[in-house]
Amino acid sequence: MQLIYEKSVDGRTGVRIPLSDVPKAAPFPQRLRRREAPLLPEVSELDLVRHYTNLSRKNFSVDTNFYPLGSCTMKYNAKIMEDVAALFAGCHPMLALIPGGERLVQGPLSLIHGLEQQLAEITGMDEVTTQPLAGAHGEMTGIMVIAAYHKARGEKRRYVIVPDSSHGTNPASAAMAGYEIVTIPTAPYGDMDLDAYRAAMNGEVAAVMMTCPNTLGLFNPYVAEICAIAHAAGALTYYDGANLNAIMGKVRPGDVGFDVIHVNLHKTFGTPHGGGGPGSGPVGVKEALIPYLPTPRVVKKHDGSFSVEAHPEGIGRVSDFFGNFGIMARAFAYITLLGGEGLIEVSEQAVLNANYMMARLKGEYDLPFDTTCMHECVFSASRQVKNGVHAIDIAKYLIDRGFHPPTVYFPLNVKEAIMIEPTETESKQTMDAFIAVMLEAAQVAKSDPAALHDAPVHTPVGRLDETRAARAQQVCCEQ
Amino acid sequence: MGYSPNTPEDIREMLAVIGAGSVEELFAPIPGELRAKSFQLPAGMSEFELWAVMREKAAAGGAEITPFIGGGIYDHIIPAAVGHLASRAEFYTAYTPYQPECSQGTLQALFEYQTAICRLTGLEASNGSLYDGGTAAAEAALMALRVTGRHSIVLDASVNPLHRGVVCEYLASVSAHVEQVDPKGCASDLERLMASITGETAAVMVQNPNFFGSVEDFSALAAKAHEQGALLIASCYPIALGLVLSPGEMGADIAVGEGQSLGNTLSFGGPYFGFIATRKRFIRNLPGRIVGETIDRQGRRGYVLTLQAREQHIKRHKATSNICSNQSLCALRGLMFTAALGKQGFQDLASLNFDKAEYAKSRLAGIEGVSVLNAGATFNEFTVSLGREAAPVVQSLLASGIAAGVPLGEYYPGMDHALVVTVTEKRTRSEIDRLAALVEEALCN
């Protein structure tokens, strides 16, 4: 399909802008004036609409296809959340920051405070900030808060511990917050090696970052012990909430011994993934860390009104305003609509669906850790590799059959990983259809491996040459 | 209650396949002592009852106030087509395009978005978006440290103070040095900025138009930075790029900015998007996702995520940034906005903003006791002195439904009398006249 720039016709105009109702000003100074006009496309409104409508049809999405992308929690995004979030479209954030403006934005401020309280109860933390704009941003913020805590105690610790099964964002975020990384290998039972962890823990460690259930979809039974070992050394514990969808109402990270957490509103709390964002990554902390949360804070006053207050001991700003408010509004609405019982049902059905998937597929696919899983299960295509078929080939076959593939080649500690997260919003019938194609792929891998190497063939393009892209570095239209 | 479709019969059948007696049994791997100690949330409700809860909050959101405030976030027109197209579920319910064959919609759109950002900024390479204006500025500073191998940034204090806050927080975390240079009146202190650049400076960061609305030419500063082996980072306001010198034309090495003005609603602080663009030779130092063009086995053109070896999922702690989810959908709105207005419309919009603000400037300047503090040209924002403390005046005008501007006292010590006034194309002549009348009235009291 042509690029919008290739559809441009000189002199064609699109959307008309308003007429001026003020006198023409004296000309803008020539020396400050742009020398060359920006070459934006010249298309009609219909050209525009048809272009992007047709482009959208080249995507798989939750609304069009089962999308069991492990670790991403691609649940259904209820339409009502889009509508209620749009109610706030006209609210200017600077209004909250000018003198006397707070009283005009009590609604959004009360929503922020309400969401913080909901998340604190769900996770067992004492206070929450909604400022971080995505999961990784939450991780970085959380580690900055931890750094500020240690600094206030006159300690300068150097290391953050992460398991090798962690998301890449964990070590990357800790590095951006100024720490060196210590990576702990996975033990044969599928979680961080306790002995190696114990050996790595010392007074130079600022924190350990854990995802629980971990990226294999397994709940680590030693998690309380891991926290205790950290605390004994004066280190803090960080909970990556990527997999919170598995445990709502069952486990609260704060009860287990975690000091700092982030949650991904775009995973657990049903906000859309937007083709790669916007997300939202609120951070929760235990009482001892409240002073170090980023500035400003939304505070509920004695008279029940809300104010925006500087948080002088805290780390500075990590984003410009109060977070991705539109996403927060959707999550607040989601939690309000589902209620406590509804959230428990979410986790129960997510875990049920994942275990069903695991039970149905483990006959044909290797299951490195054959035990009850939480909200996702991780297979390996190592059996298929013997016939020259890799995880990527199975993924591409699924595309041809109308399913978005699971996450492949992650986590890194499983060879040829296929990570399936059905989520609670998928029916048994949808999963059965997916399972049938997965089983079919396993058969084709034995009978006609070449067929899998050619997949996909029913898509707008086939397998793309990534090496060529990296070499050419063509990242914008040069026409 | 929620959105789970499983019937009791489905659940029975699935449990039988799993070999479990109950759903609760699946949670057996969690030791009893780790179970939740509390989970006190109210009962749920239907979407029809939810409307009332949300309407009540939105009604107290200040949307009825006429905004002459900006601070990086501006009340601009948004063509209806932008909202409708970005609301295509195929766009907004997809995720990061890891599987390019079934994500060409998102990938091509992001490639087009990167093109729009390159063309607006006059630079050569962009990425699939960053979080917001402040974090984009911070990422640009970190990028300059990587490019130059140096540890110090010279930061013009006429850059948006909210953005500076984020930049300082990010740079403090990696123990980099930030030297802030105070403005001279409402303009950058070019002499001091130049004098602050040394052989240790990774970059000098400026904003155009700056927080006071002043437009400047930073070409000489760019040349001076380059002489010292440093980069120039220019934060810019995308609507202004329809009229004012682009970062590329001024010799900037990295351009960043807040993208909200391009088709994104105010929404009380987000979601918006940050943008970044640079020279092609620095592409490997860019943070975040980049879409590149390639071909498939049959030679058909297609788009993929490229240069991923910079990113956290591969490089982990050695990545150029930790960013994973970005603001893709907001960037998509930005792209659609630029395409809806087109080459001429975009320039006309910038001119209209200029004309409206000049009109407001002349109206306010005509009030006794009010003076314009910008010495040179401004674009859709300008700074006035009210001859007395600005904060109480702004506060009193809120009662009349007008947010008259952002008082500067909180951000710039000694500027208690100053007010930054924002005027976009959406402000009508009668709204501007009313602002002037109310300010005049307030100053008479």
- With residue A161 as reference, give the H or E element that holds it: strand A159-163
Alpha-carbon distance B314 to B317, whole Å?
9
- Which residues sit opposite B420 in a β-bridge? B383, B406
Of A34, A43, A136, which has the smallest distance from its Cβ to B322's Cβ?
A: A136
Which chain B residue lies closest to A121 (C-alpha atoms)?
B39
User: Are A75 and B3 inside 8 Å of each other by CB?
Assistant: yes
Chain A closest CA to B2's CA: distance in Å? 6
Residue with the bigger pLDDT between B315 and B122: it is B122
Chain A closest CA to B182's CA: distance in Å? 20
Any chain A CB within 8 A of the CB of B207? no
C-alpha distance from residue B133 to each of A23, A318, B73, B356 (Å): 32, 11, 10, 25
A286 pLDDT higher than 90: yes
Contacts of B90 in chain A (CB under 8 A): 56-57, 59-61, 63-64
pLDDT tens profile B203-255? 999 999 999 999 999 999 999 999 999 999 999 999 999 999 999 999 999 99
Q: Name B355's Cβ contacts closer than 8 Å, sequence gap at least 6.
A: A20, A22, A23, A24, A25
pLDDT tens profile A333-373? 999 999 999 999 999 999 999 999 999 999 999 999 999 99
B336 pLDDT higher than 80: yes
pLDDT at B426 (0 to 100): 98
Residue B240: Cβ-neighbour burial (10 angstroms; 0-12, 13-18, 19+) = buried
Query: Tokens for A45?
Result: 């409104």
Contacts of A53 in chain B (CB under 8 A): 85, 88
B1 pLDDT higher than 70: no
Any chain B CB within 8 A of the CB of A232? no
Any chain A CB within 8 A of the CB of B162? yes
User: Are B58 and A104 inside 8 Å of each other by CB?
Assistant: no
Contacts of A24 in chain B (CB under 8 A): 355
Contacts of A371 in chain B (CB under 8 A): 29
At which residue do the structure tokens 């083709």 appear? A275
CB A236 within 8 A of CB A287: no
Window 449-468 of A: residues touching B by CB (8 A cutoff) are 456, 459-466, 468
User: Are A41 and B342 inside 8 Å of each other by CB?
Assistant: yes
B28 pLDDT higher than 80: yes
C-alpha distance from residue B420 to each of A339, B134, B307, B389 (Å): 44, 19, 42, 13
User: Are A355 and B34 inside 8 Å of each other by CB?
Assistant: no
What pTM was estimated for this model as a whole?
0.98
pLDDT tens profile A5-38? 999 999 999 999 999 999 999 999 999 999 999 9
Any chain B CB within 8 A of the CB of A447? no
User: Are B73 and A23 inside 8 Å of each other by CB?
Assistant: no
Domains and CATH numbers, chain B: 66-73+343-444 (3.90.1150.10), 80-337 (3.40.640.10)
pLDDT at A413 (0 to 100): 87
pLDDT at B214 (0 to 100): 98
Mean pLDDT value across residues B64-68: 98
Alpha-carbon distance A325 to A337, whole Å?
18
User: Are A72 and B77 inside 8 Å of each other by CB?
Assistant: no
Query: Tokens for A437?
Result: 């194609």
pLDDT tens profile A390-404? 999 999 999 999 999
Between chain A and chain B, how many beta carbons pairs sit less than 8 Å apart?
719
Q: Is the peptide bond before A411 cis (omega within 30 degrees of 0)?
A: yes
Sign of CA dihedral B326, A286, A157, A296: positive
Closest CA to B122 of B301, B248, B255: B248
pLDDT at A472 (0 to 100): 95
pLDDT at A479 (0 to 100): 74
Scanning B186-247, the segments in alpha helix (DSSP H) are: 190-196, 219-227
Alpha-carbon distance A376 to A354, whole Å?
5
Alpha-carbon distance B350 to B204, whole Å?
27
Domains and CATH numbers, chain A: 4-56 (no CATH), 81-337 (3.40.640.10), 345-454 (3.90.1150.10)
